[in-house]
Chain A
Amino acid sequence: MMFCSAAPCAVALAAGFPALPLLAAAPFTTPVGVAHYLVVGAILFTTGVVCMALKRNALGVLMGIELVLNGANVNFVAFSSSYLRGEGAASLGLDGQAIALFVILLAAAEAAVALAITLNFYNNHATVDVDQADDLKG
């Protein structure tokens, strides 16, 4: 959560919004801004990391990875949206969206490779438990 609070604060300060009162006092009255998206992204990211750390099934771990990547994508898109960032903010163009697209592409490729490894691992060990995959330990 430290991660989630620190980054929006810095951005909020730069944009001229009073950050903490916004979250605490009027959650439903204030217009949707970047901070809301960041909260969603942080939740997605945290969920993904916890999933990666706790799931023993390799497929679960892969799902956690997807969540982490998409949490990051939400942030990219949110930062890139001039609408969300309000009037007077410098335009960032479509950079965020473009990087999000790259991430999606990368995730697809990564998922393909990871699934292939998983399948091979299953063929060799008859299991997809990542705790069993310690052949590379030092």
Chain B
Amino acid sequence: MDPVTQLPMLLGLAWLAPLVSFVAILFFGPRMGPHGRNAAWVATAAIATSLVLSLTAFGVWVGNHPVSAPVHGNHADAGHGDAAHGDAGHGSPAHGGDAHGPDAHGAAGHAGGAHADDGHAAGHAAAGHAAAGHAAAGHAAAGHAAAGHGPIAYSGDWYTLYHGGSLTLSIGWYIDALTVLMFVVVTLIATCIHVYASGYMHDELHDVTDHEVHLSGGGHLHRPGRFPRFFQALSLFCFSMLGIVIAGNLAMIFIFWELVGICSWFLIGFYYERKSASTAANKAFIVNRVGDFGMLIGLMALWGALGTLHFADSALPMAGGSRPGLFSLVRPASAGHALTVPDGMVKFAAADEVATIARQYADHPADAAQEVDAKVEGWRNRGFGRWLLFVAGVGIFCGCVGKSAQFPLFVWLPDAMEGPTPVSALVHSATMVAAGVYLVGRFYPVLTPDVLLVIAVVGAITLFIAATIALVANDIKRVLAYSTVSQLGYMMLALGVGGWSAGLFHLVTHAFFKSLLFLCSGSVIHACHTNDMRKMGGLARVMPWTAGTMLVGCLAIIGAGVPFVIGLSGYYSKDAILAQALSYSRANPAWSILFFAVAGGAFLTAFYMFRLWFMTFAGEPRDHHIADHAHESPDVMVRPLIVLAVFAVVAGWTLPGGFGLANLLEQARPAGTAVTSTGDYLFGPLTLPAEHESHEGSVHVIATLTAFVTALAGVLLAAAMYLWKTISPAAVATMFRPAYTFLANRWYFDELYNAIFVVPAHGLAAVASGIDRELIDPFIHGLAGLAKGIAGVDAWIDKYVVDGIVNATAEATWNAGLELKKLQTGRLRQYVMFIVVGTVAIFVLASMLFRAALAG
């Protein structure tokens, strides 16, 4: 098995399968069985194919790169300064041997593993250039410490869209353990959701009466079902998300980033006749554009200064040899993969100095270039380019803020509940919001500690705000929506405090239990036909499967487990985040608030999740009409719940051999991030503790206990208020009336944005339209009137002067003809008289006129 050729092929096919389904349903959807019923099968088959291919790729990966517990030792210098290791690989792209086998790492250890890729991507000679120099090392099996080595990754281009100047836009791949893992997660959850949706959306198989759309005539909207359309958009959504995951460069990510955006617009606005749905779709799209604007700035900063958007080193068809990608530019192997401001950015920032040198050496450009290169190091030490790198990182993060619904752009996500519930589940777990976190994780090597601090702070704010709003929400899906926002804040915070693995681990586990929770809520809504938890209660008796699986989801999200022994998936990922936050707080006491945010968030999460569960499933029914009609959902909806519940339980487990997601992710850990780094950055000195340090006892024990105690406190409080009813929620709400109102109104964010952005925008639009109407329109009308007047004069001249002359000439000619007609009498003798008289007259005239001449 050669992963160099197999992985891109397997994952590429897995990526394209949903596209095939999309195209098929696009053209033949309505003809797929009665009412397009079979479109669900086409889409599900496509995504299931993707799942199978992804699992195969996962198997290929694990077979070639055995997962086992990492050995943490001697991190500080292992592999550092081993420049030769990196260069060996770069310099010999035609290296034929497979250096990936575990034994290849024996004595030499760092034998460069550049695979020559002969002809597997359409004659692209150097495509598939696997992870150039730094791919080979870092196998945990060989006992290497991760420090100092790059991740195992394969990259290459399938197709070059554009190549000009220094810019290359291509469709390519960058495959490491994270990519493979995300493929499995996305396709697995998407498959479950496809199956579930084929049951949930059955209403769309017939004509639908939408009771939420009131027509002006007083009735409700009747419309044909849109079953194929739903699965068509779902397929495109999966294709877009997989495109982001497999993308080998930022430009490709941006393309699929926008595709995900438009798919969310299709799906959130699926019931587009409803005003609320179309507004929510527009809101999601517009708010994401705000973030994407920042992302574009980041892309420009990177491309302008570095001239490449590829993650990994690439061999371009035009230039000989390999060309450094973003990762090796920012973390060059020669610097031991330590974060370094790239030369390009230094020169870009020191443009004035470069220009000065260019003037001095105007006659010798070669000398000027040498002089610049000689001075780059000095400029770098003086801090040139640091802001540019910061802007690039924050810019890319801006895009993630939009997609992953971080403060201040999280407002779209709760409104996105207007879409059908399977869409909510997909958007909230595996696809759209995951994209932002995934990109931060993928882009992690380029993010400087000050950018990471920004990310951590934004994450902390987000998790706190969203968790507090979730406390008082009564719409079951909105509670989950704010829970998602809050959990995304967790992930961002984890990434920001240096917990690369913790954040992405939580992304994966969260994807499982949040999709489970959403599908459970969909099942509840399907049974009750309402979203309002105040009308539910006691549903556990009629919906045992839904209640049970949802309980699993709730326990997973709060991180339930027996401390230090075993727990659900959330237990592991949340502990990792808490531990890393604690580690960071200790290293940077000024930012210890981040740890308290995480701990407080854990308490709030436990409270609102169990508030939701108790209100929905426990106690006595509040509305008997609803409870009597409630029923367990059909099997096609329950089975995906069970599958997801199993994963929500086991996803975090590490098998005795060391096989587990956390260790798998370690294989993809970006180069140079496994060591503690300290430095003086834009916001002052910062220490980014290495992640493995958070596993040490002094940190880990406290973190685990904190997580356990806060979660338990949250559950107990929820039980006291909603299960045992020892504390009356109403009394609490009355007691803290202002705070309750504040939270119930979602911190007035919508009102705030309305006042800051929407109202001024409307005002500006009103002014603009006023100018248009009162100033520009009269001017245009005046011009038109003037032209009309001139045309009138012109028409008069034409009609009376020009036509008059022509008509008068014709008239005169006609009359002359009439007069002359009288001369032709037809009388022969008269003619003779005319001839005679005329001749005589000519002679007389001639003799009179020319008398002088004749007289000579």
Contacts and interface: CB of A to CB of B under 8 A. Distances in A.
B826 A137 contact: yes
Interface in B809-827: 820-827
Interface in A81-131: 130-131
A25 interface: no
B854 A134 contact: no
Contact of A49 (B821, B832, B844): B832
A133 to B, nearest CB: 6
Contacts of A138: 820-826
A53 B830 CA distance: 7
A134 B840 contact: no
A6 interface: yes
A137 B826 CA distance: 4
Contact of B824 (A56, A130, A137): A137
Nearest to A58: B828
B827 A2 contact: no
Contacts of A77: none
Contact of B826 (A49, A52, A133): A133
B828 A130 contact: yes
Contacts of A134: 825-827
A61 interface: yes
A130 B829 contact: yes
A61 B828 CA distance: 9
A10 to B, nearest CB: 7
A54 interface: yes
Given A2-B843, A53-B836, A138-B821, A10 B828 contact: no
Given A53-B829, A53-B833, A134-B827, A6 B822 contact: no
B728 interface: no
A135 B828 CA distance: 11
B847 A6 contact: yes
Given A2-B844, A49-B836, A133 B828 contact: yes
B832 A53 contact: yes
A24 interface: no
Interface residues of B, number: 18
A134 B822 CA distance: 13
Interface in A46-89: 49, 52-56, 61
B829 A56 contact: yes
A2 B840 contact: yes
Given A2-B840, A53-B836, A138-B821, A10 B827 contact: no
A3 interface: yes
Contact of A52 (B823, B829, B840): B829
A94 B480 CA distance: 136
Contacts of A2: 840, 843-844, 847
Contacts of B824: 136-138
Contact of A54 (B827, B829, B843): B829
A131 B854 CA distance: 41
A133 B831 CA distance: 12
Interface string A24-38: 000000000000000
Contacts of A10: 854
A2 B847 CA distance: 10
A33 B271 CA distance: 129
B377 to A, nearest CB: 114
Interface in B827-856: 827-829, 832-833, 836, 840, 843-844, 847, 854
A101 to B, nearest CB: 25
B825 to A, nearest CB: 5
A25 B826 CA distance: 47
B489 to A, nearest CB: 110
A55 B824 CA distance: 20
A136 B826 CA distance: 5
A3 B840 contact: yes
Most buried by B among A3, A10, A137: A137
Nearest to B847: A6
A49 B829 CA distance: 10
A135 B826 contact: yes
Contacts of B840: 2-3
A55 B836 CA distance: 15
A110 to B, nearest CB: 15
B828 to A, nearest CB: 4
Nearest to A49: B836
Nearest to A53: B832
A138 B819 CA distance: 10
A82 B170 CA distance: 117
Given A133-B826, A137-B824, A3 B843 contact: yes
A12 B854 CA distance: 13
B701 to A, nearest CB: 134
A137 B836 contact: no
A56 B821 CA distance: 24
Contacts of A135: 826
A58 to B, nearest CB: 8
B584 to A, nearest CB: 121
A58 B458 CA distance: 128
Nearest to A65: B832
Nearest to B854: A10
Interface string B63-93: 0000000000000000000000000000000
A137 B825 contact: yes
Contacts of B827: 130-131, 134, 137
Nearest to B846: A6
A18 to B, nearest CB: 17
A120 B829 CA distance: 19
A52 B832 contact: yes
Contact of A131 (B822, B829, B836): B829
Contacts of A136: 824, 826
A122 B843 CA distance: 37
A2 B840 CA distance: 8
Nearest to B822: A138
A133 B827 CA distance: 7
B140 to A, nearest CB: 124
Nearest to A135: B826
Nearest to B833: A53
A15 B832 CA distance: 34
B291 to A, nearest CB: 96
Contacts of B844: 2
Contacts of B823: 138
Max chain B C-beta neighbours (<10 A), residue from A6, A54, A131, A138? A138
A55 B833 CA distance: 12
Contacts of B836: 49, 53
Residue of A3, A53, A131, A133 with most partner-chain B CB within 10 A = A53
Interface of A: 2-3, 6, 10, 49, 52-56, 61, 130-131, 133-138
20 contacts: A2-B840, A2-B844, A6-B847, A10-B854, A52-B829, A52-B832, A53-B829, A53-B833, A54-B829, A55-B829, A61-B828, A130-B829, A133-B828, A134-B825, A134-B826, A134-B827, A135-B826, A137-B827, A138-B821, A138-B823
Interface of B: 820-829, 832-833, 836, 840, 843-844, 847, 854
Closest 5 CB pairs of A and B: A137-B826, A134-B826, A138-B824, A138-B821, A130-B828
Given A53-B832, A131-B829, 15 more contacts: A6-B847, A49-B832, A52-B829, A52-B832, A53-B833, A61-B829, A61-B832, A130-B827, A131-B828, A133-B826, A133-B828, A135-B826, A136-B826, A137-B825, A138-B820
